Amino acid sequence: DAWPADPEKGYGLEKLFTEELARYYREDFGMETRIVRFHNVFGEKGSWTGGREKSPAAICRKVAEAKDGGTIEVWGDGLQTRSYMYVDDCVEGLMRLMASDYREPLNLGTDRLVTINELVDIVALIAGKKIGKRHDLTKPQGVRGRNSDNARLRTVLGWEPSITLEAGLAVTYKWIEAQVTEAFPWCTILPPAAAGVGQWALAGGFEAGDLNESGSIPQPADTHAHWPPFATLRKPNASR
């Protein structure tokens, strides 16, 4: 039902092409295939940093790193809308679809639309923090709105996702908060105002080996590449 289509170059076209491949394998080789159109799956133990994470994980990470009363960056104006499905519902839907004999494309997602601003507010409430939003209109924000039409899903499977966004985010936030804490358990992240400098700083128990040639803390090369450059050292307040 997607044809004739005008898919987004690369990203959208490869999805439709893969659906056609599934049909060809079934028709030409008798392979049993199922075609699912996922809508923003999220949950714990997924990507949460490095640029490949989905918006729920990115927001959870930013809120976990922020102080109570702090501000986080939101890409775009925050009014773009999405629907989100918790990973447990995704697995349940896949199992039900594979057990069925339905071979045409099927949406798998929730039909509850929320704005990115609302998503931030939900995560902040879960974290027990007051969080401000600083919108960056220069950053990519994707399509303005996307939702899952579940009419066919309910007809085909007699089922649809039931785990609320709040319930899924509560589990996800707890896990991501633990990852942030575990990554640097011996330090405190200080924003420019608190550090009294023009760049961010770390307060912790550092050794000479922690410094690069310029006398500053090296930018983490892997899991915390999203953090701003670390430029100054504070007096150690903990030991490794």
The pair of three-digit structure tokens given for residue 121, joined into one six-digit string: 């507010």
What type of residue is 97? Answer: L
Which of 7-11, 155-159, 207-211 has the least mean pLDDT? Answer: 207-211
- The tens digit of pLDDT for each residue in 76-123 reads 999 999 999 999 999 999 999 999 999 999 999 999 999 999 999 999
Banded model confidence at residue 165, pLDDT cuts 50, 70, 90: very high
Whether 161 has a pLDDT exceeding 50, the answer reads yes
Is a pLDDT exceeding 70 seen at residue 157?
yes
Residue that has been written with the tokens 């949460």 in this structure? 48
24 is catalytic: no
pLDDT at 168 over 70: yes
Cis peptide before 220 (omega within 30 of 0): no
Instruction: Look at residue 2 in the predicted model and tell me its pLDDT.
Output: 61
Q: What is the pLDDT of residue 228?
A: 41
Measured CA distances, 94 to 75, 119, 160, 225, 234 (Å) = 31, 26, 11, 34, 51
- Mean pLDDT, residues 148-159 taken together: 96
Q: How far apart are CA 49 and CA 172, in angstroms?
A: 13
To the nearest whole number, what is the mean pLDDT of the chain?
Answer: 81
Beta-strand ranges (E) seen in the chain are 36-38, 41-42, 71-75, 81-82, 85-86, 106-108, 114-115, 132-136, 187-190, 200-204, 230-233
Of residues 231 and 130, more confidently modeled:
130
- More confident position, 60 or 211: 60
Of 159 and 226, more confident:
159
User: 163 CB contacts (<8 Å, ≥6 apart)?
Assistant: 86, 88, 89
Query: CA nearest 149: which of 116, 99, 192, 113?
Result: 113
State the Cα–Cα distance between residues 39 and 41, nearest whole angstrom: 6
Of the candidates 11, 24, 25, 102, the residue annotated as catalytic is: 11
Q: Output the DSSP codes for 46-72.
A: S--STT---HHHHHHHHHHHSPTT-EE
Distant-in-sequence, close-in-space partners of 71: CB < 8 Å, separation ≥ 6: 131, 132, 133, 134
What DSSP character marks residue 210?
Answer: G
Residues 6+ apart with CB under 8 A from 96: 157, 159
Sign of CA dihedral 16, 17, 23, 25: negative
What average pLDDT does the segment 161-168 reach?
A: 97
Query: pLDDT at position 5, please?
Result: 67
Q: Can you tell me the mean pLDDT for 204-212?
A: 40
Q: How sure is the predictor about 184, in pLDDT bands with cuts at 50, 70 and 90? A: low
For β-strands 81-82 and 36-38, DSSP reports them as unpaired
